Amino acid sequence: MVRIAIQNLGNRAIESKHIERKVIELIHENGIDWMHACGKKGRCTTCKMIILEGQKNLSPETAQELQFRALKRLHPNERLACQAHLLQGALTIQVPDSSKFPHLTYTK
């Protein structure tokens, strides 16, 4: 069982029996909108998430993430939701300001 809490979406929680799935897949399967301009291919950074807790529960960084990190487009506490797989346990994240949708209400 894995769990994702999205802190600035009212601590919305996702629980799933599916492990080793991409974070963005788990989010979308639970009816939550999450930005992904390149179609979940790791070619942009619009799906980035800020990791508050649980970084150790994610798969290693992909080549795409390492490239964006080298270009300073990903901070140490950020990952691409379309690339990171949640392997086990819990993950607490936030939507970055740059990826917020106007039709959703975000909390602090």
Residue 50 placed within a domain = yes
For the entire predicted model, the pTM comes to 0.94
> Is 81's pLDDT higher than 90?
yes
Is 35 among the domain residues?
Answer: yes
Domain that holds residue 14: 2-92
Helices (H), 1-108: 23-29, 63-70
**Domain-embedded: residue 104:** no
Express each pLDDT in 15-74 by its tens digit: 999 888 999 999 999 999 999 999 899 999 999 999 999 999 999 999 999 999 999 999
Count of domains in the chain?
Answer: 1
Q: What are phi and psi of 13, to 5 degrees?
A: -110, 140
Q: Please report, for the domain that includes residue 47, its CATH number.
A: 3.10.20.30
Q: Does residue 98 sit within a domain? A: no
Q: Which two tokens stand for residue 66?
A: 């390492």
Report DSSP state, residue 97. G
Does residue 48 belong to any structural domain of this protein? yes
pLDDT(108) > 90: no
